[in-house]
Amino acid sequence: MVSAREHVAPIQGEIIEPSNVHERTAAALVTVGAMVAVADRHVSAVEREEVVRFISDLGLAAHITEPRLAAMFDERARRLEQRDFANVVIDALLPVSDLSLSSDLLAISERVAVADETLHPHEVLAIKLLRLLTPRLPRPKPVEQSRRASSAGQCRGPEHERERDL
């Protein structure tokens, strides 16, 4: 059986098979940037340019050209204005959940929000939502109380006083 997807011509810039890390990273960053841009119901060229510049300057998707990033942004912005916008965001973020992109996702969202020199309350809400959706940075592993106590007991003498207090 042939899927309906095979009969539809891809939209310019649409990500069809995000199979590698650069494609997945670009998709997540572009989607987050577009999500914030769409939040105030006015997507401006400076917001698109900010997304493209951010991704290019950091080299997060080195093999993807700037015109393609701009086309991806435009496509995502259109998709995010539709009823299934939540699925678009989830579909872009799930494949990168194992990568350490949280800080980059938040940074791009904040830069897009102020790119047009106007911070709209809905852009702030979009950033807050993104903070809830993106995983936090890894927390330090808990150290067992007995191991901590035995380590502290091993530090004896004045030269180890400072280490024990840390």
Q: Which of 16, 53, 32 is nearest to 126 (CA)?
A: 32
Question: For the purposes of burial, counting CB atoms within 10 Å of the CB of 79, is it exposed (0-12), middle (13-18) or buried (19 or more)?
Answer: buried
Beta carbons of 22 and 63 less than 8 angstroms apart: yes
In this prediction, residue 132 carries a pLDDT of 84
- Pairwise CA distance, residues 87 & 72, whole Å: 16
From first CA to last CA, the distance across the chain in angstroms is 64
In this prediction, residue 135 carries a pLDDT of 62
In this prediction, residue 56 carries a pLDDT of 93
In this prediction, residue 38 carries a pLDDT of 95
Per-residue pLDDT tens, the chain, 166 aa: give them. Answer: 333 333 333 444 544 444 478 888 999 999 999 999 999 998 999 999 999 999 999 888 878 899 999 999 999 999 999 998 889 998 888 878 777 888 899 999 999 999 988 889 999 999 998 888 776 533 334 555 444 444 444 444 444 444 444 4
Give the distance, in angstroms, between the CA of residue 136 and the centroid of all CA atoms in the same chain: 12
Q: Is the pTM of this model over 0.75?
A: no
In this prediction, residue 97 carries a pLDDT of 78
Question: For the purposes of burial, counting CB atoms within 10 Å of the CB of 27, is it exposed (0-12), middle (13-18) or buried (19 or more)?
Answer: buried
Helix (H) or strand (E) holding 125: helix 121-133
In this prediction, residue 23 carries a pLDDT of 87
